[in-house]
C-alpha cells in the first residue's frame, strides 16, 4: 500500500514537473512572440510618423544592433557589408590582384606585387606607375577609391594601364584571393631574431613558421616576439605560435558560466634559446594569451607596459542574408588560471616608450651640478637627478631617493657598459653627461624604442 502510494506520488510529481517545464517553455515562447509583435508595431509606427523618411532596413539594423548593445563590448551585430569586412580580417584574405601601392609626387607607384598573386604572375614590377584602372585615369580618383577598385570578387576582371620607363603597358588581370601576411621578421644587431606579429588571422601560423625556421637557419642566439599593438584574433593561431617556446602542457583554459569548457595545449619541446615578448597597452586577447603563458611557464621575459585586458573569446554566427554577429562565449585563463579580462598582463620588466612630448616632465628633474662623484651609499642632488633620468630612459627599478643604493649602482654599471664608459658603478662627470645626453636624444626625436632596446639587452645577457 505504502509503495503504491509513493509510486503514485512520484508519477504525479514528475507529471506536474513536466507540465510545469512545458508551461515555462510555452510561456517564454508566448512572451517572445508578443515582444516581436510589439517590435513590428513599433517599427510600423516609426516609419509612418517619424519626421524624416526612414527605411525598414535601417530600423531593423538598429533593432538587431540593440540586442548586442545590452551585452559586453565585444559582442557585435554586423550588417552584410560589415560582415564581409570582418571576415576578410579574420580569415586573412581578400579578393584582389595583390599590389602594394603608394602615392609619390602625385603618381600612383607600385611598391611591390605580393608573391604568387595575379599582379606578380602578370609581370607587374616595383616602380611601375599606374595610369588608369578599367579605363579611368587614377588622377581623377581618390587614393582609397583606387585601392578599393583593385579589390573585388575573385574571378572578376580588371584592366590596368601602366607606365614603365616611358613605355605604356596594358595588363588584363583576374582577381583572386590575396593572403594577408601579418608577420614581419629580421635579424637584429648581435644576431637576435625579431618577429613582429600584427594580428592572429588564419595565415599567422603558416607565416610565423616560415619566419621562425628562417631565423633558426641563421642560428640566431635568441628571439624577440613583438606583440605590441596586436589586437588579438584566433586563439588557435596564438597557441601555434607558442609551441616552439613553451614546455608541453596547458597554455590556456576557456571558462564559461563557471566551468572550464576547453583547454589548449602546447605539444612541442621548447627551443633552448632566450625569449623576450614585447607588449603594450594595445596588446589584447590572443596576444595577452601568449604573454600570460610565457610568464606562467617561465619560458621567457615579458617587457613593455600593462596590456589591454581583453580576456574573452568570441564565436561568429552567420545569417543567410550575409549578416552575422560576434558573441562572447567564454573567458580565457592563463596556465596558472589567472584572469586577464579587465586586468591585462603586467610585464616582468616595465619599460615605457616616450613620445617626444614630455619636455614638461624633465623640468622637474634635479640639476646635476655637484662636482663630486658619488659611489654606493652616497647621497646628494646629483644622485637624485641621475635616478630621475635613469628611470626616464628605461631603468624602471630605480627609485629617486637621493641615495645611491645597489639598484642605482647596478643601473649605472649597466648604462656605463652599454655606452662605452668605464664600468665602475660610480656616478662620475662623464656618466652624468652621458645620462643627460641620452634623455635629450630621446626627447629630440621621440622615436627611440626603449622597449626593444631592453629586449636586446636581456637576450645579450642570457645568451
The residue among 265, 211, 216 whose CA lies nearest residue 243 is: 265
Task: Exactly one of 93, 196, 273, 310 is catalytic; name it.
Answer: 310
Matching residue, cell 614590377: 125
Strands (E), 222-353: 223-226, 249-256, 259-266, 275-279, 301-304, 312-318, 324-333, 349-350
Rounded to whole angstroms, how far apart are CA atoms 67 and 457? 50
Task: Exactly one of 75, 296, 326, 438 is catalytic; name it.
Answer: 296
Matching residue, cell 572578376: 156
The residue among 76, 114, 81, 110 whose CA lies nearest residue 97 is: 114
Listed in sequence order, the residues at least 6 apart from 265 whose beta carbon sits closer than 8 Å to its beta carbon are 239, 248, 249, 250, 251
Q: Residue 350, by phi and psi: left (phi above 0), alpha (psi -120 to 50) or beta?
A: beta
Rounded to whole angstroms, how far apart are CA atoms 97 and 119? 5
Task: Exactly one of 285, 299, 307, 323 is catalytic; name it.
Answer: 285
Catalytic, 397? Answer no
User: For the purposes of burial, counting CB atoms within 10 Å of the CB of 171, is it exposed (0-12), middle (13-18) or buried (19 or more)?
Assistant: middle
The residue among 146, 152, 151, 113 whose CA lies nearest residue 131 is: 146
The residue among 255, 234, 253, 238 whose CA lies nearest residue 316 is: 234
Q: Are 156 and 174 in contact (CB under 8 A)?
A: yes
Catalytic, 285? Answer yes
Q: Are 247 and 214 in contact (CB under 8 A)?
A: no
Q: What is the grid cell recorded at 62? A: 538598429
The angle formed by the CA atoms of residues 149, 153 and 155, to the nearest 5 degrees, is 115
Q: How far is CA 36 from the centre of its chain?
A: 39
The residue among 442, 434, 280 whose CA lies nearest residue 361 is: 442
Q: Are 225 and 195 in contact (CB under 8 A)?
A: yes
Q: How far is CA 294 from the centre of its chain?
A: 16
The residue among 64, 35, 43 whose CA lies nearest residue 326 is: 64
* Cα distance between the two ends of the chain: 84
Catalytic, 128? Answer no
Q: What is the grid cell recorded at 431? A: 656618466
Residues marked as catalytic: 285, 296, 310
Amino acid at each position: 500500500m505504502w509503495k503504491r502510494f509513493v509510486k503514485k506520488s512520484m508519477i504525479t510529481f514528475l507529471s506536474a514537473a513536466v507540465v510545469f517545464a512545458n508551461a515555462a517553455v510555452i510561456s517564454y515562447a508566448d512572451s517572445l512572440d508578443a515582444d516581436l509583435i510589439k517590435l513590428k508595431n513599433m517599427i510600423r509606427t516609426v516609419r509612418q510618423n517619424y519626421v524624416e523618411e526612414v527605411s525598414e532596413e535601417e530600423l531593423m539594423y538598429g533593432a538587431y544592433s540593440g540586442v548586442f548593445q545590452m551585452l559586453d563590448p565585444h559582442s557585435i551585430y554586423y550588417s552584410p557589408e560589415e560582415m564581409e569586412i570582418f571576415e576578410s580580417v579574420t580569415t586573412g584574405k581578400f579578393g584582389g590582384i595583390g599590389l602594394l601601392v603608394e602615392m609619390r609626387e602625385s603618381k600612383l607607384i607600385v611598391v611591390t606585387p605580393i608573391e604568387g598573386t595575379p599582379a606578380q604572375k602578370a609581370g607587374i614590377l616595383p616602380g611601375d606607375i599606374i595610369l588608369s584602372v578599367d579605363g579611368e585615369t587614377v588622377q581623377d580618383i581618390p587614393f582609397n577609391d583606387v585601392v578599393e577598385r583593385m579589390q573585388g570578387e575573385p574571378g572578376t576582371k580588371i584592366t590596368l594601364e601602366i607606365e614603365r620607363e616611358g613605355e605604356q603597358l596594358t595588363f588584363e588581370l583576374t582577381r583572386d584571393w590575396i593572403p594577408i601576411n601579418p608577420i614581419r621578421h629580421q635579424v637584429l644587431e648581435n644576431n637576435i631574431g625579431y618577429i613582429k606579429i600584427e594580428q592572429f588571422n588564419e595565415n599567422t601560423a603558416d607565416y610565423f613558421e616560415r619566419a621562425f625556421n628562417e631565423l633558426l637557419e641563421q642560428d640566431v642566439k635568441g628571439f624577440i616576439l613583438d606583440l605590441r599593438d596586436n589586437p588579438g584574433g584566433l586563439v588557435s593561431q596564438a597557441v601555434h605560435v607558442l609551441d616552439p617556446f613553451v614546455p608541453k602542457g596547458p597554455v590556456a583554459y576557456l571558462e564559461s558560466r563557471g566551468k572550464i569548457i576547453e583547454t589548449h595545449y602546447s605539444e612541442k619541446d621548447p627551443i633552448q634559446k632566450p625569449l623576450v615578448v614585447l607588449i603594450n597597452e594595445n596588446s589584447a586577447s590572443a596576444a595577452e594569451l601568449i604573454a600570460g603563458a610565457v610568464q606562467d611557464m617561465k619560458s621567457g621575459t615579458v617587457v613593455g607596459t600593462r596590456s589591454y585586458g581583453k580576456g574573452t573569446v568570441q564565436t561568429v554566427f552567420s545569417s543567410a542574408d550575409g549578416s552575422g554577429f560576434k558573441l562572447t562565449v567564454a573567458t580565457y585563463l592563463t596556465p596558472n588560471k589567472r584572469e586577464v579580462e579587465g586586468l591585462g598582463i603586467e610585464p616582468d620588466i616595465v619599460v615605457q616608450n616616450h613620445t617626444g612630448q614630455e619636455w614638461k616632465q624633465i623640468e622637474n628633474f634635479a640639476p646635476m651640478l655637484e662636482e663630486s662623484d658619488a659611489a654606493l651609499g652616497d647621497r646628494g642632488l646629483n644622485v637624485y637627478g641621475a635616478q630621475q633620468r635613469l628611470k626616464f630612459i628605461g631603468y624602471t627599478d630605480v627609485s629617486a631617493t637621493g641615495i645611491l643604493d645597489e639598484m642605482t649602482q647596478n643601473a649605472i654599471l649597466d648604462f656605463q657598459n652599454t655606452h662605452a664608459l668605464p664600468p665602475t658603478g660610480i656616478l662620475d662627470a662623464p656618466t652624468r653627461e652621458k645620462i643627460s645626453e641620452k634623455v635629450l636624444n630621446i626627447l629630440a626625436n621621440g622615436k627611440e624604442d626603449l622597449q626593444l632596446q631592453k629586449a636586446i639587452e636581456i637576450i645579450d645577457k642570457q645568451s
